[in-house]
Structure 1
Amino acid sequence: MWVVKLGGSLLGSPELPRWLEMLVKISDGKVIIVPGGSVFADAVRVAQQRSGVSDAMAHHLALLAMDQFGLLLTGINPHLVTASSELELAERGWQHRAIVWLPSKMVLADDAIAKNWQVTSDSLSAWLAHKIGAERLLLVKSKPLSDYANSTSVLLQTLVQDELVDSAFSDYCLQQRFQTYVVHKANYAAVEPILSKRRMEDVSVATDHVLLVDY
């Protein structure tokens, strides 16, 4: 099972529909898409600044923002289906569908998850990967990865320092069994042959365009 986090910054880019088309094509119930918050989360930040509501309330609203972006993805590609619980995730997998996770229900039910802006869709994608026993987590980023152009791997702490992931991300990755990869949004073609592998032992550790994250 793969968890693929599509950053909200992909909205409006030509790459987003191409990612969705590719994931629908190869998913076979084995890929779960985690949506970012996109413009909906930006609106929550503005609303918090203007209203002064607590971080806990903003966290709740940001989760609903992820739900909204997830629903929007199904509007862009109607072959996607949504799931908001472990049972629904399993059912959509049995149906061999391409799945978009709507996180608010599951995340709000876990009091151990910090309710602040340090926990974003990056950390929640890692939380989900652990929750469902996924083997791989892939983060699709809009921010250029040119600083790592000559590498096939990158240190987790480097990603945090470079603000490519949120500050809580390492807490959700360390001592977990899944492997984590980072790829730029333009490199969907490099990802397709990796995700389309049906046996995990056939998956290469990294390519020229897909970075393995070292914990």
Structure 2
Amino acid sequence: MKRAVVNLGGSTASEAALGEWIAALAGSTLPLVIVPGGGRFANEVRDAQKSMGFSDKAAHAMAILAMDQFGHVILDRDDRLAPARSLQDMERALRGRKIPVWLPSSLAIPAPDIRASWDMTSDALAAWLAGKLGAHALLLVKQTAAFSSGDDVASLTARGIVDAGFAAMLPAGVDFHLAGPHDATIAGAMLSSGKLPGTLISRSVAAVRKTG
């Protein structure tokens, strides 16, 4: 069965829908890997960098460790989830009918193809992982409804809905879906039936218009 990567954005951490999303993802019949956002943990790194003046390289590593922290919050909520630090861990979890939660620091910090930059948030890292896994789809879960099927990656980047590094990291052939708060209530039913919630986003509106 084809696989998906789901980035549960850090902005969901303080929302009532967090539990709803975790339960929906944990009950998925579609094989998927959860990528945690950095959320408030990454914001602490941003604030610390301003006051302490450490480099973007150090901040990059610390922000990825912040994703690990939110990952542990997610893991704490449901026994159907399993920690995964490597691609092998993900394979084992999926074979054991668990949903892996990626704790990215071991893989992502030393990766030479991930730039040490604030342009590379969990959005870009989730796209990077989708490529490594050969996933067929990528879903970003955000706390905004300010998007539609008329958007493309460029328009979402321009409005700051996805990070500046996302477009370059999104592999060819991976379907990109975006979900907002309104999708939380139906996510469980969709995932349990093997479907991804959210809106399918084009890579380029111009390209769609040209072929249409």
Say yes or no: does 1:32 pair with 2:33: yes
AA matched with 1:210: G
Matched residue SS, 2:162 = coil
TM-score, length of structure 2 as denominator length: 0.88
SS of the residue corresponding to residue 139 of structure 1 reads strand
The corresponding residue for 1:212 is: 200
TM-score by length of 1: 0.87
Q: Which amino acid aligns with 1:64?
A: L
The SS at the match of 2:176 is strand
Which residue identity is paired with 1:37? Answer: G
Superposed, 1:63-142 pairs within 5 Å as 63-142=64-143
Amino acid at match of 2:164: S
Q: How many residues align?
A: 201
| Cα displacement (A) at 1:120 | 0.3
Amino acid at match of 1:178: V
The aligned amino acid for 2:199 is L
Runs ≥4 in structure 1, deviation > 4 angstroms? none
Aligned pair partner of 2:167 in 155, 166, 170: 170
Residue from 150, 154, 157 that aligns with 1:157: 154
Unaligned runs of 5+ in 1: none
How far apart, CA to CA, are the structure 2 residues paired with 1:122 and 1:177? 17
Query: Are 2:24 and 2:188, in contact at CA under 8 Å, matched by a contact in 1?
Result: yes
Cα displacement string for residues 19-57 of structure 1 (whole angstroms, at most 9, x for unaligned residues): 1111111246x1111000011101111111111100000
- CA drift at 1:156: 0.9
- Tell me if the contact between 1:154 and 1:211 (Cα under 8 Å) persists in the aligned partners: no
Unaligned runs of 5+ in 2: 204-212
Separation of aligned partners in 2, 1:109 and 1:89: 19
Whole-Å Cα distance in 2 between the matches of residues 50 and 76 of structure 1?
33
**Percent identity at matched positions?**
33
Letter in 2 for 1:85: S
Structure 2 counterpart of 1:188, one-letter code: A
